[in-house]
Structure 1
């Protein structure tokens, strides 16, 4: 059997679900180069491509027992596509942030008062986050600081996606209210 025959992939998947490291290694050896090439074509950066592919295989191993995979090759390339999209989305957000920072906080216009206000606001936001219930605070930090998707947070914390959305909504409302009350108090 060749690595791309359905029977071969199905056997590897069954063995992988049982925690067979040799099956995992065989999957890696069979698909990693092809995934790496596709990732490199999309990102244009070898290190980023390697990181994306490595993360796919780490996730495959971590989720091996509960993953519902019918077509291994389609699953891996679908995961790669999502990883590349998330990577590009993060780059776009980072670039927008850098542009915003350069327009808003250029060295010519950045004075001590602005710096103090920025640090004060950051401290107030952090206090607001710390005032949240533990689970809500954890969901907020995963969502906003670690840029995890609702689905990833749901899986990682073993709660429903609706619960994740609820915690995010509640945290944003409470932090806004905290900031508003803080400034009213001043």
Structure 2
């Protein structure tokens, strides 16, 4: 069912809001902004980029290909339906992997008969899910506060105001490459704060 819905979303005729060059396609925030405006081609690019890795990630825990695909397809349906309200703290990739992890926990909670293949017992994981998410958000904010002023400013423009790299570059009179460097440095610093417990986000 979910696959057919996703197929309809990404296959119907759509309005192309801009010519998508390589820089644009590689800028997940720019793609997400296009998705928020209803651009189905941008949605398809995100779908094609992350669908298989997300399915593999879920299947490591469930060892059930069909269920894994259902979970991931459900996430993409949600992504499209709620596109206007989406906010990204780190990267689109980190958002998708955290979201699909939560959906996997919910799937196990609703299907107690399945065997969970990961190291952590799902009873413990489900109980700690909300705590973990709150902790993750706090660590991210602490890491952002520790960034150099210019780096923090550019990162917040990207994640809190959803500006693309090109838009930030124009606003701050910088090159796109400089903006990319600041964001890359910010993510590297945040990655260090998060440590190995959240390595799956990257």
Q: Normalising to structure 1: TM-score of the pair?
A: 0.45
Larger radius of gyration: 1
